[in-house]
Amino acid sequence: MESLSILCIGDIIGKPGRAFLKQHLKTIQQEHHIDFTIDNVENSAGGFGITEKVYYELLGMDIDACTSGNHIYDKKEILGKFDQFSKLIRPLNYPPNNPGEGIRFFSVKNVKIAVINLIGRVFMGAYDCPFRCMDSILSMVQNETPLILVDFHAEATSEKQALSWHLDGKVSAVWGTHTHVQTADERILPNETASITDLGMVGAWDSVIGMGKETIIKRFLTQMPAKFDVPKSKRVIFNAIKLDIHPETGKSIGISRIQRQYQFDEPIDSSHD
């Protein structure tokens, strides 16, 4: 086997994002000969958090692993169910007794894959240091497999790029999530770690980072609090990357951005998501 092809999908924003995946993900997987698919699900239920129903809906679309971020605990009804969600990963540098796991191991074509989720600190919150957190567990993970994938859910581009450089040659790939805007800086670093600052999103095209644009514009104009919601939308954008990784060394061979747009016949309504 020359390489494994891995599809990494940006933050899924509510029902428009899920509707796109339901209709088009399989075609994208076949077109790019994908062996393993990862998505970020922390906005997948109504734009905030994930529910049990949505989790299993996504797994039914041949998604192999689900990362998350700062909204992972927004739906309180799932807090006691994280042990059942064997493909869901929450940020590793949350407090250690929080529900869920920050590292999950998977297997595809007899190759073990480690998926790690981290959350940033710049403009985000008082979490443990993601750099030191990775340093503390890296030897253990490397003893299990050289194929290590890191979703860094962070706001600042500098923090995301710095972590990529810090982990160059130690993991297979580091990609950013959270800002919902795909960046054009995909590259393979000198020691063969693939990197991109942000994957982007799967959500309403006519929006502000997947949320209703009118509400957000009003908030900027008035500085008054407003409830964000996922807008009704016919047009959906899909952002992802494809990674090609050597299965024995864990070194990245290729990284490429994927961006698609699709227009549904009727608006996708997330009001009862």
The burial of 39, by beta-carbon neighbours within 10 Å (0-12 exposed, 13-18 middle, 19 or more buried), is given as buried
- CA atoms 16, 19, 20, 25: torsion sign: positive
Query: What single DSSP character describes residue 184?
Result: S
Q: How many Cβ atoms sit within 10 Å of the Cβ of residue 261? A: 10
Contact 152, 120 (CB under 8 A): yes
Contact 7, 67 (CB under 8 A): no
Q: Given the residues 24, 33, 71, 180, select the one marked as catalytic.
A: 71
Q: How many Cβ atoms sit within 10 Å of the Cβ of residue 174? A: 28
In this structure, the strands spanning 187-188 and 173-177 are: unpaired
Q: What is the DSSP string of 52-82?
A: HHHHHHHHTTT--EEE--TTTT-SGGGGGGG
d(CA 193, CA 44): 28
Q: Does the annotation count 272 as an active-site position?
A: no
d(CA 34, CA 62): 11
Contact 228, 212 (CB under 8 A): yes
Residues with catalytic function: 71
